Structure 1
Amino acid sequence: MAWGAACHGIFALAGLAMVWGLFTGLMQTWGAVPWPWAALTNGLLLVQFPLAHSFLLTGRGRRILARLAPAPHGTTLATTTYATIASLQLLVLFTLWTPSGIVVWQAEGAALVAMSTLYAGSWALLTKASFDAGAEVQSGFLGWAALARGRRPVFPPMPVTGLFRVVRQPIYVSFALVLWTTPTWTADQLALATAYTAYCLAAPRLKERRFARLFGAEWQAYRARTPYWLPLPRHRRRRCPTES
């Protein structure tokens, strides 16, 4: 229970830090590293999340996860540990970033209302996509709840409903929208948005390889009928009458 409480507490703090940090263009943080050293520390903060987030989903990363939780429950608590680490990474990123002070654009008046609405809508999409994917996995609830019931974690089926009917990677799409709909654009926010949008485009390929191994033909059929990132219509190739 304590492991789960810690996970959800850090998860909530990280969410609040991210919402406020992006809304203010990373201008109101606790980072105070002198420049030019701040460029190095900010760069490290920027890369630590995607690198660890992807590595911990590999075979070696999962073995490490299993050793981080209290024995002998490491495997059962793996999803909780993973969510805790990801939350800690985001909390560190959005609280210890050192602002550059370079404001590119600040929305005002009607533009502020419009951008704030888009920003809130992007967060709503991200929340919806997380629930469609299985909120118990995304939040870390699955692991500690299974342990509390004395059972093995039972993962939800492959997500194909809700936003997953529209695109295969709605969580990554929504996350990218969150990055670009902030009402305050700074050099810091633009650097983060550019880097993490690239991550959102590339990282799901690793996830899809894993899904192909786990779900086989079910995944291949879903992949064939559902676009990757953008909800563009797919046209089936028609056979020419002369083709045999």
Structure 2
Amino acid sequence: MLQLIKAALRPPAGPGRISLALGVGAVTHLLFTAGVLAMIIAMFHGMSASLGRVPQPWAWMVNLLLIIQFPLGHSLLLSRRGGRWLSRLVPGPHGGKLASTTFALIASIQLLILFTLWTPSGIIWWQAEGAVFWVVCGVYGLSWLLLMKATFDAGLEVQSGALGWMSLLARITPRFPDMPTEGLFRLIRQPIYVAFALTLWTVPVWTPDQLLLAVSYTAYCLLAPRLKERRFSKRYGERFERYRAAVPYAIPAIRTGSGDKHAE
């Protein structure tokens, strides 16, 4: 990541390419930040404070579609066909380099759509108060910090969309981070999905809306990484198989003594 930043700070001549890289990067990071903030705020209120106003009984159907569109789009874009589509989405010769940034941009828009256009049911089952409120808020905040740590360990430049536009700015081929095995990835193979699942269940307000979201996306967090691991198995072969044999999927194991170095 540091080498990518240093190279991007000294881009060779090419005003059109530089403008494209900086413009796409700015829009992507703005929408990425907005999507994350919308998610944090909406779930903090148990999905009871969104902007959607679809009348019942259609509201639940629309809300289900909002839930489904994110994992479906995510999985499609991570496929081979989706990768080719991402490379062609930006017209001209730079679409391939910007593919990872385009992916993050689309994912950010999907998050914004989900968490701002949700139609609240208006039903609140439980709301933390007093000391319990502050305890739950602390756990909710820790869950988000855990998610941020897992994202950093996985390669922040890829997760945030910076890899594509910074590579274009520096006029170099995008170089994806190696298979993550350090940090939280030493404890479990899927810390991002586990941390995200924790954010779903540690909110201070509980509604039918939040329960639907939590159940749906927890199932996604448990099942979707199987597809990711298939891709890793094809890409890294025996190295990933050793890692998979040594590190649990989602629940850390209690270790005794010193373990083997699984990722060599």
TM value normalised by structure 1: 0.94
Per the alignment, residue 152 of structure 1 pairs with 173
AA partner of residue 127 (structure 1): M
Per the alignment, residue 239 of structure 1 pairs with none
Gaps of 5+ in 2: 1-21, 257-264
1:113 counterpart = 2:134: yes
After TM superposition, the runs of 4+ consecutive aligned structure 1 residues lying more than 4 A away are: none
Following superposition, the deviation at residue 139 of structure 1 comes to 0.1
Per the alignment, residue 133 of structure 1 pairs with 154
- Rounded Cα–Cα distance in structure 1 between residues aligned with 2:153 and 2:245: 20
Per the alignment, residue 47 of structure 1 pairs with 68
CA RMSD for the aligned pairs? 1.0
TM value normalised by structure 2: 0.87
Aligned with 1:93 (options 89, 114, 117): 114
- Rounded Cα–Cα distance in structure 2 between residues aligned with 1:203 and 1:111: 33
Per the alignment, residue 233 of structure 2 pairs with 212
- Rounded Cα–Cα distance in structure 2 between residues aligned with 1:111 and 1:189: 19
Per the alignment, residue 11 of structure 2 pairs with none
Following superposition, the deviation at residue 234 of structure 1 comes to 7.3
Whether the aligned pair in 2 keeps the contact of 1:225 and 1:234 (CA below 8 Å) is no
- Rounded Cα–Cα distance in structure 1 between residues aligned with 2:108 and 2:132: 31
1:196 counterpart = 2:217: yes
Instruction: Tell me the secondary structure at the aligned position of residue 103 of structure 1.
Output: coil
1:75 counterpart = 2:108: no
Aligned with 2:124 (options 90, 95, 103): 103
- What is the number of equivalent residue pairs in this alignment? 235
- Rounded Cα–Cα distance in structure 1 between residues aligned with 2:223 and 2:174: 29
- Rounded Cα–Cα distance in structure 1 between residues aligned with 2:181 and 2:28: 27
Per the alignment, residue 13 of structure 2 pairs with none
1:27 counterpart = 2:53: no
Following superposition, the deviation at residue 70 of structure 1 comes to 3.1
AA partner of residue 190 (structure 1): L
Aligned with 1:9 (options 17, 27, 30): 30
